[in-house]
Structures are given as structure tokens and as C-alpha cells.
Structure 1
Amino acid sequence: MKFKIIAIAAMFPLFASAQSSSFTISGKIGNLNKPVTVYLDYKDDGAGREDSTLLVNGTFSFTGHTEGIAVARMSLGHNGEGKQLSIFKGNDDIYFYFSNENMVINSKDSLINATVTGSKVYDDYAAYNKTIGGSIMELDRVANNEFKSGTPAQQKDTAFIKAIDMRFRKNVALRTQKQIQFAKDNPDSFFGLVALSESVGAKMDIERTEAIYNAINDKWKATALGIAMAERIQAAKTVGVGDVAPLFTSKNVNGKPISLADYKGKVVLIDFWASWCEPCRAESPNLKTQYKLYKDKGFEIISISLDTDRKRWLKAIADDGLTWLQASDLKSLTESVIAKKYGIGAVPSFFLIGRDGKIIANSDIQGEALNKRLAKMFNN
């Protein structure tokens, strides 16, 4: 069982600041050989790139060029299982920022335990993480290790699981507070902008966020992340509780249009998700229950996938037995027009729309909060 409560899809916006050199990311992971494979995915100035290489006596190397500070995910496939399965398992992957530098990654056995040298950008990122109490992945590992350390009986005990979950959420909330303070204190740092972007959820404090953003150094505002942050602030001004939900049209699994306008008069839950998002899929059983309870009473769900791989999207729908409306333009979080309209910074994100087309709730309207709201609406 995993406690991946929050998906950091926002780990993949990219940020430009003109550079002219190239980068090298090299390393050594023990003495591992094929089929062990290193997978590298990164985005630079909004453009996604990927590469992979087999380990040879533990060594690997990637070279290329970035236009600025890039954000990356590196995963290690120990059994040659392929990138997607390696990422989905999430057992040995790291996220980091880098630029045109010579980064070196070394470890005796795994990426998770690796040390990184040679990159000032990475050092700044590490210092930022230390200040805010660690990355989401680190907090996630702590929660998972707590679960794994429990006895078989404890791992079946809902009280034991709930206690771990509550500690995780408390740590995430504290981290968010520290990120907001970091953004306030470091307007000239690129990671001040990162902190602001990561700390803002669907229920944005617009006045506070805009004030912090306005103080950010103009060179960071001009990056892809800075522009995206400005767009999110503007979108948040139009998707608050009581606002009319922005209309959209997308394509279903058969390529036919699904339009929000067609469902006025119903209570609609807009569910932003992706096949690779564990917390999204962890919510699916609850959504199935709620849909079964209320679909004949005027409740509809429109799930908007931010997958870019059609096969993985369709497979997730089939594997999870999702029977409500499924739509996707096969655009990523940073490219989806619908996600931008709703100011989505990460998945899962939810918006509950009333019969009059106005937003009733957002952000935390999932799980028990959703269940209670729907019961009140349909059982009165």
C-alpha cells in the first residue's frame, strides 16, 4: 500500500533563461549492468524531452542543452521493465532541477540514495528543500516507510493507516506554509517562484498569491513557470465558489465532443486526473460509489484526463472500471487549454458545479467531503 496522497504534476513546468553551453548528467550506480536502465525526462522552456541508457558497470551519461533551468525526473528500471512501469512503481526515482552544468550522480545501489555534485542549480534546489522541510517525495517515503514498518495486523488497521495519513497531511500543510514564507523572503531566487507555484492549490488565496508574485524578479516572471503562474492567478479569479464554471468542449474516448454546456441542469463534478497519478486513481473507488448512488438523481461526472498517451489513458479507464464521461485532448497539465481555464496546478483537482452552472466547491471536494456534500444535496 502507498500513501502517495498528492501528485506533483506541477513538477513539469519549465523555465527559460537564455544559456549558450550544454549539460552533462553522468553517474555511477554501483556495478549494475543491463537490463538495468536509467530513464531521464525533463522539460525545458515548456518543451518535453526524454532519453534513456543502459548501465554499463554502473555508469551512465546524458548530454544536451537547456534554454534555462529545467526540471527533471530520473528513474531506474532495475529489471528492464520499461520507463512507464518503472515510473509507476515509483520505487527508485528522483526529481531535480538542473541547467547547463556538469552534474554527477553517484550511489552504491540506487538513485534514491545518490549524492549529486557539480551543479549550483541542484545545490540551490537542495537548500530550498531543506528550508521547507523536504520534497513531497521525501515526505511520501516517510509515510510509506511508517506503513511498511507496521505489523501485518497494523497494516490492516484503519486507525493505524489514518494516523499515518494525518501525519503526512500535517507535514504537507507545514511544508506549504514554509513555501509561502520562502517565496516572500526570496523574490530574487528562481526557487522563490517554484515555492509559490508549488504552494498554490485549487483554492488559491488570490490577494496573497498575487502580492507575492508581483514582488518576484521580472526575469523569473518571464520564464515559462512565471507566465504559467500569472495565468493561474488570472484563472483563479474566475473559478471561485459562486463563479460560473468556464465552459469547455473536449473529446471522449471515441473522439466525439463532450461539452459542459450540455449538462446544465445537472450537478456536475469535474475531475482533473491522469493515469500516472496514484492519488487520482485512489479516489476512483469512491467516485464509483457516489456515481452509482446519484447518477439517476441528476449527478454527472466529467473526468478530464491530462494524459498525453492515449493507450495509457484508455487502459486506466478500463482497469479502474470508470463508467462516467471521460474526455481528453491528450494535452499535458501545462498545455491543456481546459486545465489553464481552471487554473490547475496539479492533479487530482475537482470542481463541483451546481444545476445553475455555478461552482459550488473546489480543491478539497473529494473523499468524505464530497460524499457529505452530495448526500446533503440529493437526500434532502
Structure 2
Amino acid sequence: MKKILFVASALLALVACKEDNENSFTVSGKITNGSGKIVYLEEVPIGTMRPVIVDSAALNSDGTFKIETETGESAIYNVRLDQGMYPVASVINDQPAVELDVVMNKENNQFSEKYEVKGSPASEKMKTFMFAFNEKLQNVYAQATKIDSLHQLNKPDSVIAPLLQARAEGSSYLRDLTLSEIKKSDNAALTMFILGYYQSSASNPAVGLEPLSNDEVNATVADIVKKNPSHSGLANLQKDLKAQMDNAGKGNLVGKPAPEFTMPDVNGRPVALSSFKGKYVLVDFWASWCKPCRMENPNVVAAYNKFKDKNFTVLGVSLDQSKEPWLKAIKTDKLDWPQLSDLKFWESPVVALYGFEGIPFNVLLDPEGKIIAQGLRGADLEGKLTELLK
């Protein structure tokens, strides 16, 4: 089953600032070292996990701001500066008002160096979990990098074994931490954030985290639904998960001709999928705003560089809505293959055409244009190409 719960998304619509009222949820505070001029509030509903801008305001000269929206079901809210790739902070609407004190990184103002949150116990718990998780995750990733380097140097197993053990212990700690915090949480948004944060991190095969199984995900959702029986977003999510389980395998495209489409490239020129016939083609559906996609991109880059001279190429199809972040991500991630996008976000016709509900998603085409594999991630991609392109 696809992990559709944790897809980040692009901006949908600007909504005018609202007057203060008793049903409002307010986020105020200060952003230090920020180079932006506009601060946005994005709601991330549990039912879709696709951020929608619900308010915006000019950042005052001293970095202070105030943004608000109508209160509603438990949800995560991102605070984003201008068109930054990542939020500067995230909060939960468990209280009517939340205060933030954000310090941006001086070397890279795309990222916040640190932030403090007041007035929202759920937001504080979310931040505490995220920082604890990230600290241990960095150690696990460093061990994974060392292991890879030692393998390339053909070092003996006796040298690598201690690092493998340390990585395994770190990965186990992160899994236990996640399950423990999920068990303690009564807040729907907090639970889904923790679950999504772990699953997103586990999507990177280099780290070695074991993703939570479909049964564990379903059990987590069922438990939080019991704790929040009136939360419509959770109820809809549970229905979607059940439908996916019931329809497992029905959406398999393997063995079928790839549905044809034509879409503009980075220069606005129309490009048809059929123009790539004669080659093995990985049609890679992604977006600049999708964290799991960006984490998977190095694997696609490695596969492309290894097999591009063996009648193989990649065709990127982005669900971005704005051209600038799309082009920036292409350059940053070094995606040196044709890239297409109609900049229609989830309204792009290719979503329904290929029937996927989450990204990253891909299909592998043979030279005749028939789909011979789908959903190839991490080592599976290189393994399949090695099998085909000896």
C-alpha cells in the first residue's frame, strides 16, 4: 500500500486576512535573520495532508508578525516565509493562540536554525519529538555513510560490523521512540505528524529504518479515531485506507501500455511520452515540495548515471504549481533528464491517467511503451535495471 498519508504539497490559494474573532486560531511571533517580506499560514488537513494557504501578512520591520484563520478540527499549520521551500516552523491548533520565536540560519536562510513555541502543548510536543528524532537520525545517517565508504574500500567485515550494530541500535531507538510517542498522544494532528515523520524518514533506504507495516499504520489510525470520534478528516482517512486495502493490486499498471500524455518541458515546449519509444524509460512522478521525492532523487540520479548509456533514460513529471521552485529543485538535485510539468498540482490529468494518490511514484516502460514495473524505490530501481540492461 502506498504511504499516501505523508505527501507534502504546494500552495493552493491565497486567502485574505481575517478579523479577530472568538473562533480564530492565531499564530504570532518574531522571525530573526529572515530575508523574506511575507509570512504565510498553511493549514495541513489530516484528510489530505496537502497544505493550503489560509492567511498571509507582511513581516514587520522588526520581524514580528500575526497570522490567523478560523479554528477547526485538529490540524498542523505551517508557517512559511515568502516562497521558501520548507516551513520555518509548524504548530498545532490545540489552543486558540500560539507564539513563535524563530531564528533563521544566517548561512542558508531557507532553514530555521531554531525556534521556540509557547501557548500550545501539542506544538511543544511535536517540536520536542522532531528535534530528538533528528538528532538521533543524524547519527544513524553518519554511520550509514561510513559503512558505505568502508564497503567501497573493501574493508573486512570485522571493521564494518560495529558500525552495522550501532546503526541497527539507532534505527531501533527511532522506531521505539516513534511508537512510544504515538501511544502517548491523544491529539489527532500530533499523532499523524509523528507517524508521517517516521514513515518519510524510513523512505530513505540509506538510513536503514524499517517502515511501519500497513497493519501498524491501520492500527495507529484506528486508535486515534477512537480517541477523536468526531474528527471527520480522520474518519475519511480511515475509509481511504480501508479502500486501498480492499483494492490492493487492482491498480497495477504492469503489463499495460503506458497511457499517452503531452506536457510542457522547462522551456514550455510540448513533449509527448510516445517520443521516447525505443528506449527503456522511467516515468518519475515527483514535486519540489515533496520531501520523500527529494529524498528519493539521489537514487534516481545514481540509476540514471549508471544506465544512461544503455538505452535508458528518465522522464520527470512534476506536480508543482509554481515554476520557480520546480526549476530550482531540478538544479539542486541535479536531475539531468527531461522534465515536464503543466503546473496544475494535483489537478494535472496525469494523476487520474496513472491512478496514483501519492508521490514519489514511477513506472518503468520498455522500448515498445509497455509498463514493465512500477513503484521502484531505492535499491529496487537499480536492481530492476541491472536485470534488464546487462
Matched, 1:96 2:97: no
Distance 1:191 1:334 in 2: 30
Structure-1 residue corresponding to 2:40: 40
TM-aligned CA deviation for residue 48 of structure 1? 1.0
Q: Check whether the contact 1:267–1:352 (CA below 8 A) recurs between aligned residues.
A: yes
Distance 2:348 2:137 in 1: 24
CA distance in 2, matches of 1:352, 1:235: 22
Number of the residue aligned with 1:378 = 389
* Distance verdict in 2 for CA 1:192–1:94, change over 3 Å: closer
- Assess if the C-alpha contact under 8 Å between 2:137 and 2:174 holds in 1: no
Equivalent in the alignment of 1:134: 132
Structure 1 match to 2:314 = 301
Distance 2:340 2:67 in 1: 38
- Tell me how far apart the structure 2 counterparts of residues 185 and 209 of structure 1 sit (CA, whole Å): 16
1:286 maps to a residue whose letter is: A
> Counterparts of 1:172 and 1:42 in 2: how far apart (Å)?
31
**Mapped contact 2:363–2:372 kept (Cα < 8 A):** no
Give the counterpart of 1:326 among 340, 351, 359.
340
Equivalent residue number for residue 289 of structure 1: 305
Aligned: 1:227 with 2:233: no
Tell me the CA shift for residue 117 of structure 1.
0.8
Corresponding residue of 2:7 = 10
Contact 1:41–1:51 (CA<8 Å) still a contact in 2?
Answer: yes
Please, what TM-score do these two structures have when normalized by structure 1?
0.62
Structure 1 residues 41, 327: CA separation in 2 closer, same or farther (over 3 Å shift)?
same
> Residue deviations 1:184-206, cap 9 Å, x none?
66577443343344444678733
The secondary structure found in structure 2 opposite 1:209 is helix
Asked if 2 retains the 8 angstrom alpha-carbon contact of 1:192 and 1:216, the reply is yes
TM-fit CA distance, 1:180: 4.4
Alpha-carbon RMSD across the aligned residues, in angstroms, is 5.3
Q: Distance in 2 between matches of 1:62 and 1:337?
A: 33
Q: Is the 8 A contact 1:301 1:324 kept in 2?
A: yes
2:356: which partner in 1? Answer: 342
SS state of the match for residue 272, structure 1? strand
Unpaired runs of 5+ residues, structure 1, are: 1-7, 14-18, 77-82, 148-153
What amino acid is the match of 2:217? Answer: T
Which deviates the most, 114-123 or 46-55?
46-55
1:112 and 2:120 are equivalent in the alignment:
no
| Count, aligned residues | 334
Q: Provide the C-alpha distance between the structure 2 equivalents of 1:24 and 1:215, rounded to a whole number of angstroms.
A: 29
**CA distance in structure 2 between the partners assigned to 1:335 and 1:135 by the alignment:** 37
- 2:193 pairs with 1:194: yes
Asked if the contact 1:104–1:117 (Cα under 8 Å) also holds between the matched residues in 2, the reply is yes
Residue 95 of structure 1: CA displacement? 2.9
Q: Contact 1:197 / 1:229 at 8 angstroms: preserved in 2? A: no
1:273·1:349 contact (CA, 8 Å) conserved in 2?
yes
After superposition, the Cα gap between the structure-2 partners of 1:108 and 1:215, relative to the gap in structure 1 and judged at 3 Å, is: closer
The question of whether the paired residues in 1 share the 8 Å contact of 2:57 and 2:66 is answered with no
C-alpha displacement of 1:27: 1.7
* Distance change >3 Å, CA 307–CA 194, structure 1 → 2: same
Structure 1 residues 142 and 36, CA gap change in structure 2 (3 angstroms): farther
Residue 302 to residue 107, structure 1, CA distance change in 2 (3 Å): closer
Matched, 1:61 2:74: no
Q: In the aligned structure 1, how far is the partner of 2:192 from the partner of 2:371?
A: 34
Distance in 1, matches of 2:61 and 2:218, equals 49
Q: State the TM-score, normalized to the length of structure 2.
A: 0.61
- CA positional deviation for 1:64: 2.8
**1:284-305 deviation line (CA, Å, top 9, x unaligned):** 64244145233x2xx4534231
Aligned to 1:80: none
Deviation at 1:377, TM superposition (A): 1.9
Q: Distance in 1 between matches of 2:245 and 2:283?
A: 16
- Post-superposition Cα deviations, 1:103-157, rounded to whole Å, max 9, x if no partner, equal 1123677753332111233134346x27xx7355x6677789x89xxxxxx99x9
Structure 1: distance between partners of 2:70 and 2:64:
21
Q: How does 1:172-321 map to 2 (within 5 A)?
A: 174-176=173-175, 178-180=177-179, 182-183=181-182, 186=185, 189-200=188-199, 205-217=213-225, 219=228, 222-224=231-233, 227-228=236-237, 230-231=239-240, 234-235=243-244, 243-245=252-254, 251-253=262-264, 254=268, 268-276=281-289, 278-283=294-299, 285-290=301-306, 292-294=308-310, 296=311, 299=312, 301-314=314-327, 316-317=329-330, 320=334
The one-letter code of the counterpart of 2:337 is: T
Match of 1:27 in 2: 29
Displacement of 1:271: 2.1
1 CA distance for matches of 2:260 and 2:41?
A: 30
Contact kept in structure 2, 1:44 and 1:69, CA below 8 Å? no
Q: 1:103 to 1:214 in 2, by over 3 A?
A: closer
- The answer to which of 299-308 and 182-191 deviates more is 182-191
Alpha-carbon deviation of 1:22? 0.8
| 1:71 partnered with 2:83 | no
Going from structure 1 to structure 2, the CA distance change for 1:272 and 1:321 (only over 3 Å counts) comes to closer
Alpha-carbon distance in structure 2 between the residues aligned to 1:317 and 1:103: 35
- What is the CA–CA distance in structure 2 between the aligned matches of 1:335 and 1:174, rounded to whole Å? 42
